[in-house]
């Protein structure tokens, strides 16, 4: 069995400008890889050996990417991560279901964007999922709700707790920087995530003159990549992403 990690941190003394304070991470081997998302600066240590670097501000994308590498040789690129606070006040992230009933679950791994072998013309649709949230955000920002539904389907398979290998989070798989840019406080809250994601789509539609192909490419690869290549970047993942969202959009519009 592939060895992974049990990740835990203990809150330290509060600093004046950071309400969550400095935290020290300890990493212990268990069965597979775990991950967290946090907004405070941290110090990372492996089995008691603290690292010198710090990660401050925003979610722990670097830590996420580093730990995901450990899944590369596993039987599956998906994992469930449990997080809870133990009797010593230490927050723990693990792939083993804890004995306590007070825990939260995060799904980690591959969702919509990296799936292969899916027939996007035939795969079941999620016509009723998060209908109120999608319609409300679509009305506010003037975005086709079918487009929102197609993006959510392609990005997260409608799983609100999804976390990708790159650190994208929630239903619309927002990267932490994008989430902050559009005012998302909790990327795992469906209303917050969808509102931020639809706001981003509305911004992209205006930025690229309603050119849907470029909008979708920018959502996947970033607007700077689309500007740099003056169109869809020559990335296989991005081109496949545009193709599948366009298929899903056509189907959701029926």
The residues annotated with a catalytic role in the active site are: 155
Q: What is the largest CA-CA distance in the chain?
A: 57
Pairing of strands 104-108, 79-85: antiparallel
DSSP calls for 56-113? -SS--HHHHHHHHGGGTTSS-S-EEEEEEE-TTS-EEEESSPPSSS--EEEEES--ST
* Separate counts of helices (H) and strands (E) for the chain: 8, 8
Pairing of strands 104-108, 162-163: parallel
């Amino acid at each position: 069995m592939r060895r992974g990690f049990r990740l835990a941190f203990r809150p330290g003394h509060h600093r004046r400008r950071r309400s969550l304070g400095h935290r020290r991470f300890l990493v212990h081997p268990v069965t597979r890889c775990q991950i967290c998302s946090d907004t405070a600066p941290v110090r990372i240590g492996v089995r008691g050996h603290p690292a010198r670097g710090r990660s401050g501000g925003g979610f722990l994308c670097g830590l996420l990417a580093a730990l995901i590498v450990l899944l590369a040789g596993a039987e599956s690129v998906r994992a469930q991560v449990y997080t809870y606070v133990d009797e010593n006040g230490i927050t723990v992230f693990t792939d083993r279901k804890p004995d306590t009933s007070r825990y939260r679950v995060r799904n980690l791994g591959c969702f919509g964007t990296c799936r292969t072998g899916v027939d996007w013309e035939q795969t079941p649709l999620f016509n009723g999922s998060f209908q109120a949230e999608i319609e409300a955000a679509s009305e506010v920002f003037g975005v086709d709700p079918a487009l929102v539904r197609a993006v959510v389907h392609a990005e997260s398979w409608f799983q609100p707790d999804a976390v990708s290998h790159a650190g994208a989070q929630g239903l619309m798989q927002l990267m932490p920087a994008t989430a902050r840019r559009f005012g998302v406080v909790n990327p795992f809250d469906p209303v917050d995530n969808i509102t931020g994601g639809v706001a981003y789509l509305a911004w992209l539609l205006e930025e690229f003159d309603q050119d849907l192909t470029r909008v979708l490419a920018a959502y996947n690869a970033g607007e700077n990549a689309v500007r740099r290549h003056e169109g869809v970047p020559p990335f296989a993942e991005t081109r496949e992403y545009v193709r599948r969202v366009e298929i899903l959009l056509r189907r959701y519009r029926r």
